[in-house]
Structure 1
Amino acid sequence: MTELSYEQLKEKYAALERELQLYKGLLKQFCFPFKYVDYKLGLSIEKCREYPDPIIHSFHPDETKTSEFNFQIDPQIDCPFEQIESFLTPILDLVPHHIVFVDGNGMITLCNLQAANDMGVDRDSIIGKHIRDLLQLPDELIMTLKTIETNEPIYNQEVFDRYYGIINTRIIHNPDGTIKRVISMFQSLNMIKETEKLSLAGRIAAGIAHEIRNPLTTVRGYLQFFKDQLPKDIVNLIDKLLIPELDRANEIITDFLNIAKPRELKTEKIHINKFIRDDLGILLRSEALLHNVTVHYHLDEQLANYEVEIDKNQLLQVFLNLFRNSIEAKVAKTMNVSISSKLHNNNMVKIKFCDDGPGIPPAIVEHIFDPFFSTKETGTGLGLSLSRKIIELHKGSMKVESSNDGTCFIIELPVIKKQPSK
């Protein structure tokens, strides 16, 4: 075995010293307390939060025990909060309430998908903006800013502006007592209100179906039975007025029942652009020609890699309802309807059905999805309510924007990325 020269030994020990300094420097960077015990070596190394340098202890070796490593991490102190927010974001995206984190200046650092979708903003673009840019409210109405101002959390406070619901805020402080984050969670009660309305509709529907449908069927049957024995003018009255009116009443009852207890979905995975262009396009073509309406399509090519799971017949019914509403609102000789699709946040498709009609008056636009609300003399006020119910059964959402330049219904549905072929 060749002996090392003095210079070689000196160089080797210098290398070992540099390596030792590297390990010491690494351990100093660990900001959290820890303790590592190596029983075979008879050594332990321990670091406390109060002292930056690790402390080494020696003891009698024990070959029967294995090494141990214990540590204590306080996320608020030991981790950059941006990393915690990055970790929490996909988890909070699953929460059906609005969750927003802001810093001590009211700047947004985290916004979950539910909040971004309901506010109609792109989640990535709103990060770093002031919370007023998200809520579009005066500062004095924003409870999160009130928490920053008073340095006091809010517990279960009702909000009575256009976002009716319950808000809670909590504060995370820096070690020096200043505000690191204010966490706000808003629970919308609008869905509960809608559920109560639909529950009322269900009770009314059940009563009507029980008390009226059977007599209507009986009357219609006897009219059919006796019309061969009646004069021609009475038969014409039966065929052109009485039976159609009985059928219309029966259709109203059917709509009631569909709101109260919708039909079971028979879903299939399809390409949404293909559905709009082919299935819906073919259905609208003859109606558009008949009513002098031009239909334009603007479809996002990115959606070629995504699928939606839908009941085609029920979704077609939604768009037919929207198309017929546009036709009934038409005041000019011609009308333009545009149908667009857009990939949104990589997990939703945003479909816009827009017309250039006269628009919906601002005073009633917030009521158009209410059951039984209608501005038409012969309308039941159930078409849009039933349409939104169908979209919600598809785990989507439906809302409306309207002005003097026209009306736009915005439908969002979840999409699934297609798996590559093997």
Structure 2
Amino acid sequence: MTQHPGDICQDLLKAARDAGADAADAIVLQGSSVSVEVRKGALEHAERSEDADLGLRVLLGQRQALVSSSDMRPEALRMMAERAVAMAREAPEDPFCGLADASDLAADVSVDALDLADPADPPSPEALMQDALAAEAAAMAVDGVSQVSDAAAGYGEHRVHLAASNGFSGGYTRTGRSLSCVAISGTGTGMERDYDGDSRTYQSDLRKPHEIGRLAAERAVSLQGARKPQTGTFSVLFDERISSSLIGHLMAACNGSSVARGASWLKDGLETQVLPEGLSLTEDPHRPRVSGSRPFDAEGLPTRRRLVVDNGVLTGWTLDLASARKLGMSSTGNATRGVSSPPSPSSWNLSLTQGAVSRADLMRDMGTGLLVTSMIGSTINPNTGDYSRGASGFWVENGEIAYPVNECTIAGNLRDMLLRIIPANDARANLSRVVPSLLIEGMTLAGN
């Protein structure tokens, strides 16, 4: 695509006006990526892709319609706009749709401080393959590893530009570099697998391949001889790798779209205690070199740092314009969208208050219970918060790991669980969700 994404957005807006739209917004997403997978010391799969997609939303009064395409030709843009306007004329009225007021738009869309794109040259496919091979070799060098199911490396560069008839226009570029390894220990029915990986904005921040491969292998070997744990009520320690899922469930319940529909177990929870006193949950979309950072949301509103939970108390919902209007509130600047969907609320970078002790300290204090390192499946009732998930990890006795476990289920109620979390101090600061290992006492385990 030789034309700048901002120019394409403006051409779409002009086409929408010419077709009779009262208002419109347009988004262009452009990206390129390359990925490689290796197996048994040789290239298994390689893929390169380039794509450019655009979406147009038009409004006729309180009616709206969306169309998308990958065709950038002027005649295609005109046909898109005409089709969108024709669809809007037949759409039902939505009293909550509409663009942002011009006075509320993000005035400064500079992205330099966010450091979202690595200025270094993209890695070559050969360099990606060598990283994947190094990770695989490191995993295979660990005693007990029978095979590496896959080792993969990838790089991507993505551009986004948003413009609207209310005067907003802004865009940014984002890069991402990743490396992962999945190791398998044992053979036949005794096989166990585990993984490690890293994903960063900057290539220079990525962890070394040998470290990723070795850790994946050590984790897989440590699971050998896994068996079902006891059934009963025990403490459960959620490892840092999966503890952020609990915060994800909390944020899903705080989503303004769910709250407006009445489909949230927290719908009456505003200004109530949802986490233990002393714990806060912060959203910060302006953290440099982090995948969830962005200078504006999908409706052109400025993103901002906010306390979702302050000293244990829920302070507000996650809102886009439509959900905010339904609830009689103001948007929190959390709209996201694709080329074929209207805006919807979503959370950005999240950080939970860390504890004062290590994961080992929490494990020692829990006495007997389960250290969860992996979860599969999910039964979450969005209306009641009832929680049930398959889990595997390690059985802990007298504060020390006794043996690996699998094929068990942990259950509880999210409202009660979140009020009892005890955090460790091991959260990784580079992640979009900075959440440490979390201990919850008195959960139900179903095993033997």
Both structures adopt the same fold (TM-score exceeding 0.5): no
Q: Please identify the structure whose Cα radius of gyration is greater.
A: 1
Higher fraction of strand: 2
Report which structure shows greater RCO (CA 8 Å, sep ≥6).
Answer: 2
Normalised TM-score (structure 1): 0.26
Normalised TM-score (structure 2): 0.25
